[in-house]
Amino acid sequence: MNILRRELIYIWYYFSVQLEQIFGYWVLGMVLGSVISVFGKKRIHAAFSRLGEKRLGVLGVIPASILGIASPLCMYGTIPLAASFSQKGVRDDLLAAFMMSSILLNPQLLIYSAALGTTAMAVRVLSCFLCGIGAGLCVRFFYRDNNYFNFSGFQEAEGRDTDPNPLMRFLKNLGRNVRATAGWFLLGILLSALFQRYVPAEAFGSLFGEQGGFGLLLAATIGVPLYACGGGTIPLLQQWLASGMSLGAAASFMITGPATKITNLGALKIVLGVRRFALYLAYVILFSLAAGFLVNLIF
Protein backbone atom coordinates (compact mmCIF):
# COMPACT_ATOMS: atom_id res chain seq x y z
CA MET A 1 0.00 0.00 0.00
CA ASN A 2 2.84 2.34 0.86
CA ILE A 3 4.50 1.53 -2.48
CA LEU A 4 1.30 2.35 -4.38
CA ARG A 5 0.90 5.60 -2.48
CA ARG A 6 4.50 6.56 -3.19
CA GLU A 7 4.06 5.87 -6.91
CA LEU A 8 0.87 7.92 -7.02
CA ILE A 9 2.68 10.82 -5.35
CA TYR A 10 5.46 10.63 -7.93
CA ILE A 11 3.00 10.50 -10.82
CA TRP A 12 0.99 13.40 -9.40
CA TYR A 13 4.19 15.42 -9.02
CA TYR A 14 5.18 14.87 -12.66
CA PHE A 15 1.60 15.51 -13.77
CA SER A 16 1.32 18.80 -11.86
CA VAL A 17 4.69 20.06 -13.10
CA GLN A 18 3.81 19.29 -16.72
CA LEU A 19 0.36 20.84 -16.34
CA GLU A 20 1.81 24.02 -14.92
CA GLN A 21 4.28 24.27 -17.81
CA ILE A 22 1.81 24.00 -20.69
CA PHE A 23 -1.63 24.83 -19.31
CA GLY A 24 -1.28 28.48 -20.34
CA TYR A 25 -0.48 27.50 -23.93
CA TRP A 26 -3.56 25.29 -24.06
CA VAL A 27 -5.83 28.06 -22.75
CA LEU A 28 -4.33 30.60 -25.15
CA GLY A 29 -4.75 28.17 -28.03
CA MET A 30 -8.42 27.62 -27.15
CA VAL A 31 -9.10 31.36 -26.96
CA LEU A 32 -7.23 32.21 -30.15
CA GLY A 33 -8.84 29.34 -32.05
CA SER A 34 -12.32 30.45 -31.03
CA VAL A 35 -11.59 34.09 -31.90
CA ILE A 36 -10.43 33.08 -35.38
CA SER A 37 -13.28 30.62 -35.86
CA VAL A 38 -15.98 33.12 -34.88
CA PHE A 39 -14.57 36.37 -36.24
CA GLY A 40 -11.93 35.48 -38.84
CA LYS A 41 -12.90 32.18 -40.46
CA LYS A 42 -15.09 33.70 -43.17
CA ARG A 43 -12.38 36.18 -44.15
CA ILE A 44 -9.78 33.41 -44.41
CA HIS A 45 -12.03 31.27 -46.57
CA ALA A 46 -13.10 34.23 -48.68
CA ALA A 47 -9.41 34.98 -49.30
CA PHE A 48 -8.89 31.41 -50.47
CA SER A 49 -11.93 31.63 -52.72
CA ARG A 50 -10.51 34.79 -54.31
CA LEU A 51 -7.18 33.03 -54.72
CA GLY A 52 -8.81 30.67 -57.18
CA GLU A 53 -9.78 33.64 -59.36
CA LYS A 54 -6.23 34.95 -59.64
CA ARG A 55 -3.80 33.71 -62.27
CA LEU A 56 -0.84 32.92 -60.05
CA GLY A 57 0.08 29.69 -61.80
CA VAL A 58 2.25 27.33 -59.83
CA LEU A 59 2.95 30.02 -57.20
CA GLY A 60 -0.66 29.82 -56.06
CA VAL A 61 0.15 26.81 -53.86
CA ILE A 62 2.16 29.07 -51.53
CA PRO A 63 -0.70 31.30 -50.29
CA ALA A 64 -3.02 28.26 -50.43
CA SER A 65 -0.80 26.43 -47.94
CA ILE A 66 -0.61 29.50 -45.69
CA LEU A 67 -4.39 29.88 -45.66
CA GLY A 68 -4.76 26.19 -44.84
CA ILE A 69 -2.65 26.67 -41.70
CA ALA A 70 -4.71 29.73 -40.76
CA SER A 71 -8.02 27.87 -41.15
CA PRO A 72 -9.43 26.63 -37.80
CA LEU A 73 -11.62 23.88 -39.32
CA CYS A 74 -11.14 20.16 -38.73
CA MET A 75 -10.95 17.87 -41.76
CA TYR A 76 -14.66 17.03 -41.68
CA GLY A 77 -15.32 20.76 -41.92
CA THR A 78 -12.60 21.39 -44.50
CA ILE A 79 -13.79 18.82 -47.05
CA PRO A 80 -17.30 20.28 -47.56
CA LEU A 81 -15.69 23.71 -47.75
CA ALA A 82 -13.21 22.46 -50.35
CA ALA A 83 -16.13 20.95 -52.27
CA SER A 84 -17.77 24.37 -52.46
CA PHE A 85 -14.47 25.92 -53.63
CA SER A 86 -14.17 23.22 -56.29
CA GLN A 87 -17.65 24.05 -57.56
CA LYS A 88 -16.53 27.66 -57.90
CA GLY A 89 -13.65 26.59 -60.13
CA VAL A 90 -10.72 26.53 -57.66
CA ARG A 91 -8.01 24.23 -59.05
CA ASP A 92 -7.22 20.89 -57.43
CA ASP A 93 -3.58 21.81 -56.77
CA LEU A 94 -4.69 24.80 -54.67
CA LEU A 95 -7.21 22.62 -52.85
CA ALA A 96 -4.53 19.99 -52.18
CA ALA A 97 -2.14 22.56 -50.70
CA PHE A 98 -4.91 24.08 -48.59
CA MET A 99 -6.22 20.74 -47.30
CA MET A 100 -2.80 19.22 -46.62
CA SER A 101 -1.55 22.10 -44.51
CA SER A 102 -4.96 22.37 -42.82
CA ILE A 103 -4.66 18.72 -41.75
CA LEU A 104 -1.22 19.26 -40.26
CA LEU A 105 -1.61 22.57 -38.44
CA ASN A 106 -4.16 25.13 -37.27
CA PRO A 107 -4.00 28.25 -35.09
CA GLN A 108 -4.79 26.33 -31.88
CA LEU A 109 -2.08 23.72 -32.45
CA LEU A 110 0.38 26.45 -33.42
CA ILE A 111 -0.04 28.04 -29.99
CA TYR A 112 0.18 24.66 -28.23
CA SER A 113 3.44 23.97 -30.05
CA ALA A 114 5.04 27.06 -28.50
CA ALA A 115 5.41 24.91 -25.36
CA LEU A 116 7.99 22.83 -27.25
CA GLY A 117 10.29 25.81 -27.66
CA THR A 118 10.92 28.28 -30.46
CA THR A 119 13.03 25.94 -32.61
CA ALA A 120 10.61 23.00 -32.50
CA MET A 121 7.66 25.30 -33.19
CA ALA A 122 9.48 26.85 -36.17
CA VAL A 123 10.30 23.38 -37.50
CA ARG A 124 6.66 22.38 -37.20
CA VAL A 125 5.37 25.47 -39.00
CA LEU A 126 7.92 25.29 -41.81
CA SER A 127 7.54 21.54 -42.38
CA CYS A 128 3.74 21.77 -42.47
CA PHE A 129 3.91 24.74 -44.84
CA LEU A 130 6.28 22.91 -47.19
CA CYS A 131 4.25 19.71 -46.98
CA GLY A 132 1.21 21.65 -48.17
CA ILE A 133 3.19 23.19 -51.03
CA GLY A 134 4.57 19.78 -51.98
CA ALA A 135 1.11 18.24 -52.07
CA GLY A 136 -0.13 21.04 -54.30
CA LEU A 137 2.81 20.66 -56.68
CA CYS A 138 2.35 16.89 -56.93
CA VAL A 139 -1.32 17.28 -57.82
CA ARG A 140 -0.53 20.06 -60.30
CA PHE A 141 2.13 18.13 -62.22
CA PHE A 142 0.83 14.56 -61.98
CA TYR A 143 -2.91 15.28 -62.27
CA ARG A 144 -2.79 18.22 -64.63
CA ASP A 145 -5.37 16.70 -66.98
CA ASN A 146 -7.37 14.70 -64.42
CA ASN A 147 -9.38 15.47 -61.31
CA TYR A 148 -7.63 14.46 -58.11
CA PHE A 149 -10.61 14.92 -55.79
CA ASN A 150 -14.15 13.59 -56.05
CA PHE A 151 -16.43 15.92 -54.13
CA SER A 152 -19.69 14.58 -55.56
CA GLY A 153 -22.43 14.67 -52.95
CA PHE A 154 -20.67 17.16 -50.69
CA GLN A 155 -22.16 20.50 -49.77
CA GLU A 156 -20.70 23.20 -47.59
CA ALA A 157 -21.65 22.54 -43.98
CA GLU A 158 -23.75 25.09 -42.17
CA GLY A 159 -21.93 27.14 -39.57
CA ARG A 160 -22.59 26.44 -35.91
CA ASP A 161 -21.72 29.96 -34.76
CA THR A 162 -25.11 31.52 -35.41
CA ASP A 163 -25.95 33.27 -32.16
CA PRO A 164 -26.73 36.96 -32.90
CA ASN A 165 -24.70 38.04 -29.88
CA PRO A 166 -20.97 38.05 -30.80
CA LEU A 167 -19.88 37.35 -27.22
CA MET A 168 -22.22 34.36 -26.96
CA ARG A 169 -20.96 33.05 -30.32
CA PHE A 170 -17.43 33.21 -28.98
CA LEU A 171 -18.28 31.58 -25.63
CA LYS A 172 -20.23 28.75 -27.28
CA ASN A 173 -17.39 28.09 -29.69
CA LEU A 174 -14.88 28.17 -26.84
CA GLY A 175 -16.99 25.70 -24.88
CA ARG A 176 -17.06 23.28 -27.83
CA ASN A 177 -13.29 23.55 -28.22
CA VAL A 178 -12.70 22.89 -24.54
CA ARG A 179 -15.02 19.87 -24.52
CA ALA A 180 -13.37 18.47 -27.64
CA THR A 181 -9.77 18.80 -26.44
CA ALA A 182 -9.66 18.88 -22.62
CA GLY A 183 -9.85 15.11 -22.16
CA TRP A 184 -7.10 14.42 -24.69
CA PHE A 185 -4.98 17.22 -23.27
CA LEU A 186 -5.15 15.78 -19.74
CA LEU A 187 -4.56 12.25 -21.04
CA GLY A 188 -1.43 13.48 -22.81
CA ILE A 189 -0.14 14.98 -19.58
CA LEU A 190 -0.88 11.74 -17.71
CA LEU A 191 0.96 9.67 -20.33
CA SER A 192 3.86 12.10 -20.12
CA ALA A 193 3.94 11.73 -16.32
CA LEU A 194 3.96 7.93 -16.62
CA PHE A 195 6.70 8.16 -19.22
CA GLN A 196 8.84 10.34 -16.96
CA ARG A 197 8.42 7.93 -14.08
CA TYR A 198 8.86 4.57 -15.76
CA VAL A 199 10.77 4.97 -19.05
CA PRO A 200 14.55 5.47 -18.72
CA ALA A 201 15.65 8.54 -20.66
CA GLU A 202 18.80 6.75 -21.84
CA ALA A 203 16.84 3.93 -23.47
CA PHE A 204 14.49 6.35 -25.16
CA GLY A 205 17.33 8.51 -26.41
CA SER A 206 19.05 5.48 -27.93
CA LEU A 207 15.93 4.74 -29.98
CA PHE A 208 14.79 8.20 -31.10
CA GLY A 209 18.02 10.13 -30.81
CA GLU A 210 19.63 8.27 -33.70
CA GLN A 211 20.69 10.51 -36.55
CA GLY A 212 20.12 7.65 -39.00
CA GLY A 213 16.90 6.48 -40.56
CA PHE A 214 15.75 4.08 -37.84
CA GLY A 215 14.87 6.78 -35.32
CA LEU A 216 13.00 8.75 -37.97
CA LEU A 217 11.13 5.69 -39.23
CA LEU A 218 10.17 4.72 -35.69
CA ALA A 219 8.93 8.23 -34.88
CA ALA A 220 6.93 8.36 -38.11
CA THR A 221 5.45 4.95 -37.34
CA ILE A 222 4.32 5.68 -33.77
CA GLY A 223 2.64 8.84 -35.01
CA VAL A 224 -0.02 6.64 -36.62
CA PRO A 225 -1.52 4.94 -33.52
CA LEU A 226 -0.62 7.57 -30.90
CA TYR A 227 -2.00 10.72 -32.52
CA ALA A 228 -5.58 11.40 -31.44
CA CYS A 229 -5.51 15.12 -30.64
CA GLY A 230 -2.85 17.71 -31.32
CA GLY A 231 -3.03 19.20 -27.84
CA GLY A 232 -2.71 15.76 -26.27
CA THR A 233 0.59 15.04 -28.02
CA ILE A 234 2.34 18.24 -26.94
CA PRO A 235 3.13 17.00 -23.37
CA LEU A 236 4.49 13.76 -24.82
CA LEU A 237 6.62 15.55 -27.41
CA GLN A 238 7.92 17.93 -24.77
CA GLN A 239 9.09 15.05 -22.60
CA TRP A 240 10.41 13.00 -25.53
CA LEU A 241 12.55 15.89 -26.72
CA ALA A 242 13.87 16.37 -23.19
CA SER A 243 14.70 12.64 -23.05
CA GLY A 244 16.80 12.57 -26.18
CA MET A 245 14.43 12.46 -29.15
CA SER A 246 16.08 14.16 -32.12
CA LEU A 247 14.36 17.19 -33.56
CA GLY A 248 14.15 15.39 -36.89
CA ALA A 249 12.30 12.47 -35.31
CA ALA A 250 9.92 14.94 -33.69
CA ALA A 251 9.34 16.58 -37.09
CA SER A 252 8.49 13.19 -38.62
CA PHE A 253 6.04 12.48 -35.80
CA MET A 254 4.42 15.90 -36.16
CA ILE A 255 3.73 15.21 -39.84
CA THR A 256 2.58 11.58 -39.84
CA GLY A 257 0.54 11.99 -36.64
CA PRO A 258 -2.13 14.45 -37.82
CA ALA A 259 -1.89 13.29 -41.45
CA THR A 260 -2.80 9.71 -40.48
CA LYS A 261 -5.20 10.44 -37.64
CA ILE A 262 -8.05 8.00 -38.06
CA THR A 263 -10.76 10.67 -38.39
CA ASN A 264 -8.76 12.51 -41.05
CA LEU A 265 -8.11 9.28 -42.97
CA GLY A 266 -11.79 8.39 -42.93
CA ALA A 267 -12.72 11.76 -44.39
CA LEU A 268 -10.00 11.71 -47.04
CA LYS A 269 -10.77 8.17 -48.16
CA ILE A 270 -14.22 9.39 -49.25
CA VAL A 271 -12.90 12.04 -51.65
CA LEU A 272 -9.75 10.29 -52.88
CA GLY A 273 -10.64 6.70 -53.68
CA VAL A 274 -8.33 3.72 -53.11
CA ARG A 275 -5.49 4.52 -55.52
CA ARG A 276 -5.16 8.22 -54.72
CA PHE A 277 -5.57 7.47 -51.02
CA ALA A 278 -2.58 5.11 -51.24
CA LEU A 279 -0.61 7.83 -53.01
CA TYR A 280 -1.54 10.26 -50.23
CA LEU A 281 -0.20 7.88 -47.57
CA ALA A 282 3.01 7.28 -49.54
CA TYR A 283 3.52 11.03 -49.93
CA VAL A 284 3.02 11.67 -46.20
CA ILE A 285 5.48 8.95 -45.16
CA LEU A 286 8.15 9.94 -47.67
CA PHE A 287 7.83 13.65 -46.88
CA SER A 288 7.98 13.02 -43.12
CA LEU A 289 11.16 10.96 -43.47
CA ALA A 290 12.77 13.51 -45.80
CA ALA A 291 11.82 16.39 -43.48
CA GLY A 292 13.17 14.55 -40.44
CA PHE A 293 16.43 13.76 -42.22
CA LEU A 294 16.94 17.38 -43.30
CA VAL A 295 16.09 18.72 -39.83
CA ASN A 296 18.67 16.38 -38.27
CA LEU A 297 21.27 17.51 -40.80
CA ILE A 298 20.62 21.15 -39.92
CA PHE A 299 20.33 20.79 -36.14
Specify whether the CB–CB gap between 206 and 250 falls below 8 A.
no
Tell me the CB-side half-sphere exposure of residue 151, using CA atoms within 13 A: 24
**Nearest-angstrom CA–CA distance, 56 and 96:** 16
b/e 259-295 (16+ beta carbons within 10 angstroms → b): bbbeebbebbeebbeeebeebbbebbbebbbbbbbeb
Specify whether the CB–CB gap between 256 and 288 falls below 8 A.
yes
- 66 closest CA partner among 130, 137, 156: 130
What pLDDT is recorded for position 279?
A: 93
Rg (CA), the chain: 20
Q: Residue ranges of the chain with pLDDT lower than 50?
A: none
What is the pTM (predicted TM-score) of this model?
0.86
**Nearest-angstrom CA–CA distance, 125 and 66:** 10
Q: 73-79: long-range contacts at Cβ-Cβ below 8 A with a sequence spacing of 24 or more?
A: 73/37, 73/41, 73/102, 73/106, 74/263, 75/99, 75/102, 75/103, 75/263, 75/264, 75/267, 75/268, 76/263, 76/267, 77/157, 78/102, 78/103, 79/151, 79/154, 79/267, 79/268, 79/270, 79/271
Q: How far is CA 286 from CA 28, 244, 295, 299, in A?
A: 33, 23, 14, 20
DSSP 3-state of 57? helix
**Nearest-angstrom CA–CA distance, 220 and 285:** 7
